[in-house]
Amino acid sequence: MIDTLIVLAKHPAPGRVKTRLCPPLTPGQAADVAAAALLDTVGALDRTPARRRVLAFDAPAPAWLPQGWIAHRQAGGPLDVRISSAIVEAGRGSTVLVGMDTPQLRAGHLASWDPERHTACLGRATDGGYWAIGLRDPSTAPAVVHGVPMSTPQTGDEQLRRLRDHGVDVHALEELTDVDTIADAERVAALVPGGRFADAMRRVRPEPIPAHW
């Protein structure tokens, strides 16, 4: 069993989140979609076997946080620093951190990592980045994450290379699509038609979401 699950998330305020969805969405609509993605992600991790769960947030703890979760204030700085700081400061034992951009996430996506067999896990994203990183020893996060270029088509490759350079045995999680563009959002909503994210997409994009892609 994983010891700690962390969701690294931004407060879904208009103009601060999912700006690449604008246009066609308005900043307010993009914020609603982001909020739904975050809620679905937290819900998935709430159903994933773990000893503790943490929301690493860049705002005060939200009232909707499920019982048993811990709110941790995110560090400032670039994404690589925020990822490693959250893992070091909030992690206890084997730790997995995920972002808020994969609302199609399900408990089984993370349960495949056995920290006793593999010292790390990495969930690659279809855009070249990654949606999850896990470490048996969270104190190693600065060494394996700091300096990895984020938000590029090579981010996943570079992160995997950094882990292997430090002698880490990496288990590959299933590849998922990050919600960055409106096409991504529509594709992901079609994968989980019963979730909050799909409901939010139907509100802002009233045309039918295709059942299959």
pTM: 0.94
- Is the pLDDT at 209 greater than 50, yes or no? no
Kindly provide the b/e burial profile for residues 139-158, where b requires at least 16 CB atoms within 10 angstroms of the residue's own CB. Answer: ebbeebbeebebeeeebbeb
Confidence class of residue 213 from pLDDT cuts 50, 70 and 90? very low
CATH class of 2-203: alpha beta
Tell me the pLDDT tens digit for each residue of 16-35: 999 999 999 999 999 999 99
Domain residue ranges in the chain: 2-203
User: In the prediction, which pLDDT does 7 show?
Assistant: 98
Q: pLDDT averaged over the chain?
A: 94
pLDDT in tens, 138-160: 999 999 999 999 999 999 999 99
d(CA 117, CA 129): 24
- Structural element, H or E, at residue 5: strand 2-9
164: amino acid identity, one letter: R
Query: In this predicted structure, what is the pLDDT of residue 212?
Result: 44
